[in-house]
């Protein structure tokens, strides 16, 4: 062990109680930082999973038509003519889904494309009427761009494609209409009424979906909504979800259709999660800040108490750098122990929290706290603690290094 480290250890033990304060703040700071990051990013991650599992990574809808306006600059015979995009006009829906699907599939990041046709209908059961939306899908395609198979909570999805009158309804809808698996109900649109059977019930956790979406087979939906061609939108699944924004931008350019990535669609919620994650990090960093202050205080105290020892060390040939190192070592020792304990605390609490029951419905479905395990939470917590504590230690360490042995011995050191 280097003699500076050795001396640092002994100096530390001389101020055990003050150091313990600093240590416990580091443990709390690091531990709670990890826990808050694990939970906030756990929920965020889960929310993203839900988005991708329901509405997919990218949605393509509405053809874009640019309306151009020509302006002759400087008189009407001028050769400078500026074409400005006056505005975009959207033509609702997708006229040629087959052509568009082929074009979309040429993008390398695309994992699957599903055409969807939707329309508003009235649902009638024995108890009441509700307005809901029919979603016509080809199950094989739709499975490639969503998690619909895993969202099924009752019934068998395999029974759906074969049955013309089969349907998959949301769990909230089922509760409100008091429908069970195998029950029948009616859908009414434009004066025509048809009867359907509940083949399966799904739960996404997203109220807006679970309450209103009824999935029908595409052919049946076309006939019910009386739309022989075209689609409402295309739902696109991606291989790398993080490229969704770039892909959406180039699809808009190339396909001339209004294309939205999941980040753009869910911007508000994503911002909320991000703000939550950052604000909780800041809140918890208060502990680390206190750890830094406590360390500053403790080291300053040790420097004051040990001026004579410092003078003795200097008389034996210890340099100014040695002296400041001795004090920085003290901070490092406490930091190392504190961070290690903080990791353990963080991991234990995170595990405990992940087993804690909680019932969340609305933006996703969760039955326990959702945590994400990431080494980066630990790294960030450590970096924050190291930065704060070392910064706070620099001042007393430099002070110690600046002491003049002559002044100390005469008792006139300041």
Partner 1 sequence: MLPANDKVALSCTNIHRYLGQGEGRVHVLKGVSFEARRGQVDAIVGPSGCGKSTLLYLLGLLDRQDGGEVWINDRKMSTGSDAERTAARGEHIGFVFQFHFLMQEFTALENVMMPMRKLGRLLLPAMEARARQLLASVGLGDKSHRLGTQLSGGEQQRVAIARALANEPAIILADEPTGNLDVKNSGMVFDLLTRLAKENGQAVILVTHNTEIANRCDAIRPMRDGLFI
Ligand X SMILES: Nc1ncnc2c1ncn2[C@@H]1O[C@H](COP(=O)(O)OP(=O)(O)OP(=O)(O)O)[C@@H](O)[C@H]1O
Q: Of partner 1, ligand X, none, which one sits near residue 311, judging by CB under 5 to 8 A according to partner kind?
A: partner 1
Q: Of partner 1, ligand X, none, which one sits near residue 11, judging by CB under 5 to 8 A according to partner kind?
A: partner 1
Gyration radius of the chain over CA positions: 33
Strand partners, 58: 236, 261
Residue 194: strand, helix, or coil: strand
Q: Give me the residue whose beta carbon is nearest to ligand X.
A: 412
Q: How far apart are CA 310 and CA 404, in angstroms?
A: 9
Q: Please state, in angstroms and as integers, the Cα–Cα distance from residue 108 to each residue in 146, 178, 199, 257, following that order.
A: 19, 45, 35, 18
Q: Of ligand X, partner 1, none, which one sits near residue 312, judging by CB under 5 to 8 A according to partner kind?
A: partner 1
In the complex, least distance from residue 318 CB atom to ligand X, rounded to whole angstroms: 24
Indicate the residue among 312 and 353 with the shorter CB distance to partner 1. 312
> Residues 176, 210, 356, CA angle at the centre, nearest 5°?
100
Q: Please state, in angstroms and as integers, the Cα–Cα distance from residue 54 to each residue in 58, 126, 154, 262, following that order.
A: 11, 29, 17, 11
Phi, psi of 226 (to 5 degrees): 60, 50
Say if residues 364 and 151 touch (Cβ distance below 8 Å): no
Instruction: Verify binding: residue 406, ligand X, rule CB under 6 A.
Output: no
Instruction: Verify binding: residue 410, ligand X, rule CB under 6 A.
Output: yes
Q: What is the dihedral of CA 239, 240, 244, 250, to 10 degrees?
A: -70
Q: Are strands 129-137 and 184-189 parallel, antiparallel or unpaired?
A: unpaired
Q: How far apart are CA 235 and CA 177, in angstroms?
A: 28
Indicate the residue among 325 and 350 with the shorter CB distance to partner 1. 325
In the complex, least distance from residue 412 CB atom to ligand X, rounded to whole angstroms: 5
Q: Of partner 1, ligand X, none, which one sits near residue 300, judging by CB under 5 to 8 A according to partner kind?
A: none
Q: How far apart are CA 284 and CA 35, in angstroms?
A: 10
Indicate the residue among 75 and 411 with the shorter CB distance to ligand X. 411
Q: Report helix angle 16-54 to 375-402, nearest 10.
A: 150
In the complex, least distance from residue 405 CB atom to partner 1, rounded to whole angstroms: 4
In the complex, least distance from residue 7 CB atom to ligand X, rounded to whole angstroms: 28
Applying CB under 8 A, the residues found at the interface with partner 1 are 3, 6-7, 10-11, 13-14, 308-309, 311-320, 322, 404-407, 409-410, 412
Tokens found for residue 326:
């001795």
Q: Of partner 1, ligand X, none, which one sits near residue 309, judging by CB under 5 to 8 A according to partner kind?
A: partner 1
Q: Of partner 1, ligand X, none, which one sits near residue 190, judging by CB under 5 to 8 A according to partner kind?
A: none
In the complex, least distance from residue 324 CB atom to partner 1, rounded to whole angstroms: 13
Indicate the residue among 13 and 412 with the shorter CB distance to ligand X. 412
Indicate the residue among 161 and 405 with the shorter CB distance to ligand X. 405
Indicate the residue among 81 and 404 with the shorter CB distance to partner 1. 404
Residue 267: strand, helix, or coil: helix
Q: How far apart are CA 55 and CA 59, in angstroms?
A: 8
Indicate the residue among 70 and 414 with the shorter CB distance to partner 1. 414
Tokens found for residue 138:
């080809």
Q: Of ligand X, partner 1, none, which one sits near residue 75, judging by CB under 5 to 8 A according to partner kind?
A: none
In the complex, least distance from residue 276 CB atom to ligand X, rounded to whole angstroms: 59
Site string for ligand X, 137-156 (x = CB under 6 A): --------------------
Using CB under 6 A as the binding criterion, the count of chain residues that bind ligand X stands at: 2
Q: How many residues does the structure list for the chain? A: 414
In the complex, least distance from residue 2 CB atom to ligand X, rounded to whole angstroms: 35
Phi-psi region of 94 (alpha: psi -120 to 50; beta: other; left: phi over 0): beta
In the complex, least distance from residue 311 CB atom to ligand X, rounded to whole angstroms: 15
Instruction: Verify binding: residue 412, ligand X, rule CB under 6 A.
Output: yes
> Contact residues for ligand X (CB under 6 A)?
410, 412
């Amino acid at each position: 062990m280097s003699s500076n480290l050795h001396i640092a250890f002994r100096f530390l033990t001389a101020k055990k109680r003050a150091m313990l304060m600093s240590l416990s703040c580091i443990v709390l700071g690091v531990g709670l930082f990890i826990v808050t990051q694990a939970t906030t990013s756990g929920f965020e991650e889960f929310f993203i999973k839900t988005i991708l599992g329901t509405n997919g990574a990218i949605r393509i809808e509405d053809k874009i038509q640019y309306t151009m306006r020509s302006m002759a600059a400087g008189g009407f015979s001028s050769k400078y003519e500026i074409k400005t995009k006056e505005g975009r006009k959207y033509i609702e829906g997708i006229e040629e889904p087959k052509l568009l699907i082929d074009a979309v599939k040429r993008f390398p990041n695309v994992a699957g494309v599903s055409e969807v046709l939707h329309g508003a209908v009235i649902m009638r059961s024995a108890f009441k009427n509700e307005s809901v939306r029919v979603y016509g899908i080809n199950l094989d395609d739709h499975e490639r761009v969503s998690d619909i198979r895993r969202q099924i909570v009752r019934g068998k999805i395999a029974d759906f494609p074969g049955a013309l009158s089969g349907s998959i309804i949301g769990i909230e809808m089922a509760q409100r209409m008091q429908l069970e698996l195998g029950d029948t109900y009616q859908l009414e649109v434009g004066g025509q009424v048809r009867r359907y059977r509940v083949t399966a019930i799904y739960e996404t956790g997203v109220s807006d979906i679970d309450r209103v979406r009824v999935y029908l087979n595409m052919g049946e939906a076309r006939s019910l909504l009386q739309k022989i061609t075209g689609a409402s939108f295309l739902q696109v699944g991606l291989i790398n979800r993080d490229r969704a924004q770039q892909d959406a931008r180039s699809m808009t350019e190339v396909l001339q259709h209004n294309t939205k990535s999941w980040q753009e669609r869910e911007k508000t919620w994503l911002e909320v999660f991000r703000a939550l994650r950052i604000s909780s990090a800041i809140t918890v960093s208060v502990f680390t800040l206190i750890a830094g202050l406590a360390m500053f205080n403790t080291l300053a105290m040790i420097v004051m108490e040990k001026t004579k020892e410092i003078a003795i060390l200097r008389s034996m040939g210890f340099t100014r750098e040695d002296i400041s190192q001795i004090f920085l070592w003290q901070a490092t020792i406490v930091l190392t122990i504190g961070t290690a304990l903080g990791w353990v605390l963080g991991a234990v609490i995170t595990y405990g929290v992940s087993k804690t029951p909680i019932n969340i419905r609305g933006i996703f479905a969760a039955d326990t706290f959702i945590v994400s395990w990431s080494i980066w939470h630990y790294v960030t917590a450590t970096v924050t603690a190291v930065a704060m504590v070392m910064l706070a230690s620099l001042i007393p360490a430099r002070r110690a290094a600046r002491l003049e042995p002559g002044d100390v011995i005469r008792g006139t050191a300041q």
